[in-house]
Amino acid sequence: MFKYYTMMVDYMLSTQKNDLIPEKWYNVVPDLPEQLPPPLDNEKNKSSIELLNSILPREVLKQEFTFQRFLKIPDEVREIYEQTGRPTPLVRARGLEKYLDYSGKILYKYEGATITGSHKINTAVPQAIYAANEGVEKVVTETGAGQWGTATSVAASFAGIKAKVFMVRISYQQKPLRKKIMQLYGGEVSPSPSDETEFGRSMLKQNPDHPGSLGIGIGEAVEYALDHNLRYLVGSVFNSVLTHQSIIGLETEKQLEIMGTEPDVLIGCVGGGSNFGGFSFPLMKKFKDVEVIASTAAEVPKFTKGEYKYDYVDTARILPSVKMFSLGADFMPEKIYAGGLRYHGAAPSLSMLVNTGRIKTVDENQESVIDALKIFSRTQGIVAAPESGHAIATAIDYIRRHKDEKKTVVVNVSGHGLLDMSIFRDEQ
Amino acid sequence: MNSPSTILYFTSSFPDHKTLYGFIEKVDPEVVKYVEVGFPSSDPRYDGPEIRETHEIAEKNFHNGHLEQYAEILGKKGVRTYLLTYYRDLARQSSDFIPHLGDSGFSGVIVPDLLVDYSSIAADVIGEIQDSIDFIPFFNPATPDGVIERISGMTESWIYYGLQPATGIHIPYDLEEVSRRILDLLPGREVNFGFGIRSMDQIGKIMDLGSKGVAIGTLLVPMVRENRLQDFVALQRQIGEVQDHVKG
């Protein structure tokens, strides 16, 4: 066994590490058990699907509807992936195993090791490159907690273009450091709702102190992109984003192979579903019987209390509706630390696999998440993001309930939480 | 040598029965192999805005007897008629609706939402339809390989492959890749392509790639709406020239 870890370290430290970065992304759509319900127009006499042509980079749109199982990662994207810290490590959590007195294996894929501290950079880079290759000078997006806006800002900077980010107003006020990082990367940040779009102005008219929401931010960013002929970058939910994020699972697959280990259980957290899908889908293809668990916030119980139905992606109802588990586009979640999990829906492919029962789901409340984050920081030295804390909490609970089964549990830790320390404000 | 053919789509009773009947009368059997007739729906969700609008108008004008008349006149020309209906609407019809379609001269049924929204009962529905007439599987790029293989194996008819997620829209795609995928998955099977086909150039390319036929729908809507019969005749002639060119 020691030999495998020596090999692993060699891979991580030598130039061979690039061999772990896959040459192709994986698209789950052709391997789904049922046909993925297509997006629907929201209005009878207008095509919001057609509208995507005006706002998404052409290549992203093509990838959104492709049947291709594997899509080549452009060389320039692979080169930037290397600059962003890929491959990210797959680490055996020996400290946690010891703490839980577990005789099986716990492994975690650490996306917090990227330059922006989360998985979001994996899709921001190709989207920004595709946009720049089309000749646009600026991309626009929204951000909730700030991770996606950060990734977009730096990806745009790498691509030699500008980024405009509509940041949910409450986060804009409460997370000044996030705003600063985006600005440092060259991003232009506006609080949302803003007075820069018609939709934002209508929200501010209703409530001048509107705290904003991710759905409103999406609406503003899309309107801004349309009005200024820019390209809109998508942070989650869309198939193309999950395809880009498959780099997480594909790397993990190679790393497991080097370790000589096969996973029994995969666990990740779900906001819109991109880190979870990107991590689990390639591994589900390889390991047909692997148990897969999606961990969501109890305060946003989309899988347990939501409905599998066509629903709006954004509050402004500009983008096409998709079939997904949803709490309703107007759902206003409680203020929880895991801002990335506050979205009302989940990616269609993931929703389908939950609906068919292939993927199980667990809701974690904030209290158990804080406990899990503390345990993880003390046993592994990693301060994980509050979103990732859900996956860790689910893993700890799973291991406690299956203590004698000696399973190999692989957890995706989607980001670090070094900019979310306020979660521990009341902790001793 | 490939002998491509053309499939035309009309929504039944749009803009009214008399006008559409005039178009059906002008269908050129030298060019057109099949005609799909759309059963008016209150929720044609997988159609684009133009076809959706035809449903809205057609619903007001529709009578089951119209279907029989279209099939009769097309049958005399040697052109096969297929009904395109959403399952939601099909399920509301009486139990003898499908057998009666067969008796009226319809060759088959296309149900675009069956595999998407009713996958759990799809096998039973297909079996029931095939007791009377052909079931035409409808696939698109989002249909998983496993579903294509399973459903194709249950049927012997031709296959309808949509190139786009809805009719009349333009999501970018690589035509060669998309068509090659389905032709490779189902070698030897008659595959006809549709959804979002708008130009002669596109029609020619699709036929060149080995498609047995190309379905045209949205392109016809303004002609039918405005009763431009001469334009329709001219369009068929143009398509015929493209077909002849491909035949070599």
For residue A66, give the nearest of B45, B52, B141 by CB distance. Answer: B141
Chains A, B: CB contacts within 8 A come to 87
CA-to-CA separations, B47 to A288, B43, B89, in angstroms, rounded: 36, 9, 15
What is the rounded CA–CA span in Å between residue A95 and residue A16? 28
What is the rounded CA–CA span in Å between residue B131 and residue B111? 16
The token pair at A355 is: 């609906």
pLDDT at A8: 56
Chain B residues near residue A38 by CB distance under 8 angstroms = 46, 116, 140, 142, 165-166
Among A310, A335, A337, smallest CA distance to A324 is for A310
Give how far A53 is from chain B: nearest CA, Å. 7
Q: How many CB atoms lie within 10 A of CB A323?
A: 21
Task: Please indicate whether, in this complex, the C-beta atoms of A44 and B56 are within 8 angstroms of each other.
Answer: yes
What is the rounded CA–CA span in Å between residue A119 and residue A81? 11
For residue B165, give the nearest of A38, A45, A46 by CB distance. Answer: A38
Query: For the purposes of burial, counting CB atoms within 10 Å of the CB of B199, is it exposed (0-12), middle (13-18) or buried (19 or more)?
Result: exposed
For residue B169, give the nearest of A34, A36, A50 by CB distance. Answer: A50
Collect all residues with Cβ–Cβ distance below 8 Å to A395 and sequence separation of at least 6.
A106, A267, A409, A411
The token pair at A217 is: 């931010």
pLDDT at B202: 83
What is the rounded CA–CA span in Å between residue A345 and residue A327? 6
Give how far B143 is from chain A: nearest CA, Å. 5
Task: Please indicate whether, in this complex, the C-beta atoms of B115 and A34 are within 8 angstroms of each other.
Answer: yes
What is the rounded CA–CA span in Å between residue A265 and residue A247? 19
What is the rounded CA–CA span in Å between residue B175 and residue B206? 7
Task: Please indicate whether, in this complex, the C-beta atoms of B171 and A40 are within 8 angstroms of each other.
Answer: no
The dihedral over CA atoms of B83, B89, B93, B99, expressed in degrees to the nearest 10, equals 20
Task: Please indicate whether, in this complex, the C-beta atoms of B115 and A29 are within 8 angstroms of each other.
Answer: no
Among A117, A113, A96, smallest CA distance to A105 is for A96
Q: What are phi and psi of A94, to 5 degrees?
A: -65, -35
Chain B residues near residue A67 by CB distance under 8 angstroms = 141-143, 178, 181
Task: Please indicate whether, in this complex, the C-beta atoms of A68 and B177 are within 8 angstroms of each other.
Answer: yes
DSSP characters for A358-369? SSEEEEE-HHHH
Crossing angle of helices B175-185 and B145-153, in 10° steps, is: 50
Pick from A45, A61, A65 the residue to mutate for testing the B interface (most B CBs within 10 Å): A65
Task: Please indicate whether, in this complex, the C-beta atoms of A41 and B166 are within 8 angstroms of each other.
Answer: yes
The residue of chain A with its CA nearest to that of B177 is A68
Among A124, A309, A323, A330, smallest CA distance to A215 is for A330
The DSSP bridge pattern shows strands B5-11 and A322-326 to be unpaired
The DSSP bridge pattern shows strands B134-136 and B138-139 to be unpaired
| CB B136 within 8 Å of CB B108 | yes
Crossing angle of helices A147-159 and A176-184, in 10° steps, is: 10
Give how far A312 is from chain B: nearest CA, Å. 15
Task: Tell me the per-residue pLDDT of A216-232, one tens digit each, with 9 for 90 and over.
Answer: 899 999 999 999 999 99
Task: Please indicate whether, in this complex, the C-beta atoms of B115 and A35 are within 8 angstroms of each other.
Answer: yes
| CB B34 within 8 Å of CB B17 | no
The token pair at B109 is: 């049924």
Q: How many CB atoms lie within 10 A of CB B79?
A: 22
Chain A residues near residue B170 by CB distance under 8 angstroms = 50, 53
DSSP secondary structure code for residue A222 in this structure: H
| CB A318 within 8 Å of CB A223 | yes
pLDDT at A16: 64
**Positive or negative, the Cα torsion across B195, B198, B204, B205?**
negative
Query: For the purposes of burial, counting CB atoms within 10 Å of the CB of A88, is it exposed (0-12), middle (13-18) or buried (19 or more)?
Result: buried
Task: Please indicate whether, in this complex, the C-beta atoms of A67 and B56 are within 8 angstroms of each other.
Answer: no
Pick from A29, A34, A35 the residue to mutate for testing the B interface (most B CBs within 10 Å): A35
Chain A residues near residue B116 by CB distance under 8 angstroms = 34-38
| pTM of the predicted protein model | 0.92
ipTM reported for the complex, 2 dp: 0.85
Low-confidence spans in chain A with pLDDT less than 70: 1-16, 336, 428
The residue of chain A with its CA nearest to that of B169 is A50
pLDDT at B66: 96
Task: Please indicate whether, in this complex, the C-beta atoms of A68 and B146 are within 8 angstroms of each other.
Answer: no
Collect all residues with Cβ–Cβ distance below 8 Å to A211 and sequence separation of at least 6.
A168, A169, A170
Q: What are phi and psi of A157, to 5 degrees?
A: -60, -45
pLDDT at A14: 47
Task: Please indicate whether, in this complex, the C-beta atoms of A47 and B49 are within 8 angstroms of each other.
Answer: yes
pLDDT at B1: 40
Task: Please indicate whether, in this complex, the C-beta atoms of A47 and B170 are within 8 angstroms of each other.
Answer: no
The CA-to-CA distance between both ends of chain B, in Å, stands at: 8
Task: Please indicate whether, in this complex, the C-beta atoms of B178 and A34 are within 8 angstroms of each other.
Answer: no
Please report, in tens digits, the pLDDT of each residue of chain B (248 residues total).
445 689 999 999 999 999 999 999 999 999 999 999 999 999 998 888 899 999 999 999 999 899 999 999 999 999 999 999 999 999 999 999 999 999 999 999 999 999 999 999 999 999 999 999 999 999 998 899 999 999 999 999 999 999 887 766 688 888 888 888 999 999 999 999 988 787 888 888 888 887 888 999 999 999 999 999 999 999 999 988 888 877 66
Chain A residues near residue B49 by CB distance under 8 angstroms = 41, 44-47
The token pair at A378 is: 């003390």
Chain B residues near residue A49 by CB distance under 8 angstroms = 48, 165-166, 169, 171
What residue ranges define each of the domains in chain A, with the CATH number in brackets? 48-69+120-232 (3.40.50.1100), 84-118+245-424 (3.40.50.1100)
Task: Please indicate whether, in this complex, the C-beta atoms of B173 and A40 are within 8 angstroms of each other.
Answer: no
Chain A residues near residue B53 by CB distance under 8 angstroms = 44-45
What's chain B's Rg over C-alpha atoms? 17
Q: What are phi and psi of A31, to 5 degrees?
A: -105, 5
Task: Please indicate whether, in this complex, the C-beta atoms of A44 and B144 are within 8 angstroms of each other.
Answer: no
Helices (DSSP H) in A134-235: which residue ranges?
Answer: 147-159, 169-174, 176-184, 198-206, 214-228
